[in-house]
Amino acid sequence: MAESADLTDPTGVGSTVWEHATSAAYVESAERVVVLDLDHPELPPYVFEGSGAQIWACVDGDRTEAEIVADLAEAFEVPVEVVGPDVRQFVDRLRDLGLVVAQDGR
């Protein structure tokens, strides 16, 4: 399991680069993203809107978690210290669901 939190960083995020799992199929629109776990087609799709959709879009295999926090803080005009823990929690949940993986595959 990847640990990306940096205990010296007040936002609680680190330098892990996340990417969508190969088993995650998704469709994006301007308002939301709908994600289906192809490894578990019996589960209903996940629907992310607002900041959840923004985080999903930022999980692109290029940006670090800290860069995602900075992007969201700017987009929603809130301090990184406020956004950081929420991003950390959401990415942890995506990881637990198997929808994202750390770029190194952990």
Compute and round to an integer the Cα radius of gyration of the chain.
Answer: 13
46-86 pLDDT, tens digit each: 999 999 999 999 999 999 999 999 999 999 999 999 999 99
Mean pLDDT along residues 17-26? 96
Residue 6 lies in a domain: no
The parent domain of residue 53 ranges over 18-102
- The Cα–Cα gap between 25 and 65 comes to 21
Residue 4 lies in a domain: no
- Of residues 106 and 83, the one with the higher pLDDT is 83
Q: How confident is the model at residue 104 (pLDDT cuts 50, 70, 90)?
A: confident
Residue 48 lies in a domain: yes
Mean pLDDT along residues 96-100? 96
**The domain spanning residue 27 has which CATH number?**
3.90.930.60
The whole-number pLDDT of residue 88 equals 94
Query: Are 91 and 18 in contact, with CB atoms under 8 Å apart?
Result: yes
